[in-house]
Structure formats: structure tokens, C-alpha cells
Amino acid sequence: MEALDGLKKEYAEILREYLQSRDETALYKVSMLSRKFQEARIDPDRILEMHLEVFNEIVERVPPKKAISTYNAGFEVLLELMMGYAVAYREYVEMHKNLYEMAREFSEKLQEANRLQELFISIISHDLKNPLTTVLGYSELIEARAEDEQIKEFARKIKKAAEKMNELISDARTYSKLRMGVPDEEFKEKSLKEVLSEVIEDLREKAEAKGVEIEKAYEGSDEAYQVLAAEFLKNVFANVIDNAIKYGPAESKVIVEIKDEGDFWKVGVRDFGEGVPDDAKKAIFERFVRNDKKGIKGSGLGLAIAKTGIEMHGGRIWVEDAPGGGSIFYITIPKSQHSDKYRKGAKRSLGGGRRVNLFSSCGLRRALLRSRRRRQPCPRERPSEGS
């Protein structure tokens, strides 16, 4: 309604200008204005009603002798407006037809690229895992049988390098699968408390080896923390808690809590390490970016996997400074009854998995509309004086 009121005011000014001067520049102006009516999706019937309202207000003050010529002039302006509207609408339809073809072609190419990427990573994973297993086996054998301490040290370094490469391959494959999308049927009703308990149990041996205690700061039954989740939700929490163990000091603890945040459950994972610098708080969730610390191993994909995984659940992840030192990683995930609403929004922002719908973002359409608006027709030549 506000858009129509503004356009009506502009139209009234142009109509008055033409009725007074018969200057064809006014017709050019109304032709340009017609595009705004089309972009605002104003119905042609409503445009006609608007013209009659504006014109009747003007013609009330016109002497009877000038009424016929005024009506004819008013009709010229209306005709120019409707013709311009028709041309703009035709261009709009043609643009969307071309845009649909571009989107379909791009979607097909993107799906093929995704398929080839997954195939490539699968081949790499399969072809590298076998020799890596051999390298790991022989490095352990050499370390166990060698008498020379230097040879044992070399064997340990070989083993660490192979383990790091193995972790990188596994993380790359997980990240690739997440970016490809996960079907809706893989999201099942789960207990967030149970998922966290499984992850903590899996990491307990690693934590104990460093003297780190994992403290559960949440209570209640499993039924109290229901979410709709895919199996890889465990990867999200595993990467974050594993990070807290790695970056926290020895003989410390990691605190895991769950809070009720309206439509969401909010999980906090606190460590007592050195913390994350402000300029790295966003970057650490990107691929192959790590908060460098000497002696800490990792692929640089763990938090990228966590970010992608939780966003597919309709949640988000971020890090804050903890009071008294260290960091708190916060993860939100929708409660089961709100999951569909937030996961649909996540699908639009991530491209919807394998099937990419470019119309979920209107950026390309806006760019094309802007480019077409720049191609304005030249004003009609004004009649020369004395003609």
C-alpha cells in the first residue's frame, strides 16, 4: 500500500506536468515510472483505478471548453503508462525464463561437480588408507623391535605423521559428505543428553591420558532434551570437546553444560586454556584454519565440520571468552518440536544439499534487474520550435 501511495504521488505530478505543458519529456518520465509499477507488482486494474482517481481530481478544476482536450491528453499518459508496463512485464518474463535456464544448467553442473568431488575423495580415501595402514603397522613394529633409541624415535615420528594424514583424510571425507547434504529421513528423534554422554565416553580415555576431567553440568532424564538429529551430530560435539581437551592444559577439566534457550537447547563446552584471540573467533570455523599452538595436532577441519554439521540441524556455533580465562564454545540446536522450521531455513542458506535451488536467493535476480534498468531508452526528440 505504501508503494502504491508513493507511485500515485509521482504519477499525479507527471500527469499535471503533461496536461499543462504537453511536453513529451513527461511521457518519457511516465514510461520509466511504469517499470516501478511492474516491479512493485501493482495490478493493471489498480493502475486504472489510480489514474481515474488522480485525473478526476485534476479535471474538476478544468473549464468545460478544455475538457475534451484534457481527457485526450490524460488518455495519452495512461496509454504510455500501460504500454510501458506491458513492455516491462514482457522483459520480466523473458528474464525469468533465461534465469531459470541458467539456474537449471548451473544446478546440473554443480551436482556433477559435487558427484566428482565425492568420487575423488572416496578414491583418495580408499587408495591412501591401505598404504597408511601398512605404514602405521611397520612403524609400530620397528618401534617395538628396534634397539637403537634414535631409530625408535624416527619410527614414532613416522607413526605420528601417518596418524595425522589418516585423520585429515577422514575429516575431508566427512566434510565433503556434509556439504553434499543429508536426506530428511536421516534425522531421527534423539536425546541430546544421550548423544553428549556417548561422545564424552568415547573421549574419556584421551582426556584421562592428559589428566583432564570432563564434567557434565546438566541433569534430568534423557527425555528432557529431545532433538531431531542425524547420526553425524556426534561429530559436531566430538570435534568441539576434543578441541577443548587438546587446547586445555594438562590436569585441568572441560565443563559441558545444557541450557534451555526457548526454541533451542544451548550446549556450552568450556576449557581452561589460553583462549581464542578476538581476530580468530570467526576464522577458526573455516576450513584448514587452526588456533596455532605448538605440539597440538589436527587437520584444521574439525571446527569446520562442527559448523557445517550444526547449521544443517538449524543451529549455530560460536566461541566466547570464559570468565577467569579459557574459552566457551556455544552450540545451539532446535528442540525436536521446532526442528523442521529451523532446518528449512538452514537448507535455503546452505543450498539445500544435492539439489541446488538458485531461486532461494534473489541476488542474481536483483543483479539482472539492475542491469536491465540501466538500459533506459532515450527520451523522444522534443518538437523543434516553430514546427
Question: Is residue 41 over pLDDT 50?
Answer: yes
Among the listed residues 195, 231, 197, 198, the one whose alpha carbon sits nearest the alpha carbon of residue 309: 231
What percent of the chain lies above the pLDDT cut of 90?
26
Q: Which of 69-78, 102-111, 332-341, 361-370 has the lowest mean pLDDT?
A: 361-370
Quick: pLDDT tens for 126-145. 677 778 888 889 899 998 99
Average pLDDT for 180-187: 76
Q: Are 187 and 228 in contact (CB under 8 A)?
A: yes
- Best-predicted range by mean pLDDT (100-104, 178-182, 208-212, 336-340): 208-212
- Best-predicted range by mean pLDDT (29-33, 103-107, 161-165, 309-313): 309-313
CA angle 275, 276, 281 (to 5 degrees): 150
Comparison of pLDDT for 295 and 226, the residue scoring more: 226
User: Going from the N-terminus, what domains does the chain have, and what CATH number goes with each?
Assistant: 1-181+361-380 (no CATH), 186-352 (3.30.565.10)
Grid coordinates of 205: 580415555
> 330 falls in which pLDDT band (50, 70, 90)?
very high
Q: pLDDT value at position 261?
A: 92
Q: Please, what is the average pLDDT of the chain?
A: 79
Average pLDDT for 245-251: 92
Average pLDDT for 348-365: 41
Comparison of pLDDT for 90 and 200, the residue scoring more: 200
Quick: pLDDT tens for 184-195. 788 899 999 999
Residue that is written with C-alpha cell 531459470 in the block: 100
Q: pLDDT value at position 68?
A: 74
Spatial separation of the C-alpha atoms in residues 46 and 65, rounded to whole Å: 30
Q: What are phi and psi of 274, to 5 degrees?
A: -80, -10
Among the listed residues 254, 249, 271, 260, the one whose alpha carbon sits nearest the alpha carbon of residue 215: 254
Question: Is residue 37 over pLDDT 70?
Answer: yes
Half-sphere exposure of 247 (CA within 13 A, CB side): 24
Question: Is residue 87 over pLDDT 60?
Answer: yes
Question: Is residue 32 over pLDDT 60?
Answer: yes
Pairing of strands 316-321, 327-334: antiparallel
> 9 falls in which pLDDT band (50, 70, 90)?
confident
Half-sphere exposure of 66 (CA within 13 A, CB side): 11
Quick: pLDDT tens for 319-329. 999 998 899 99
| Cut 0.85: pTM above it | no
- Other CB atoms closer than 10 Å to residue 68's CB: what's the count? 9
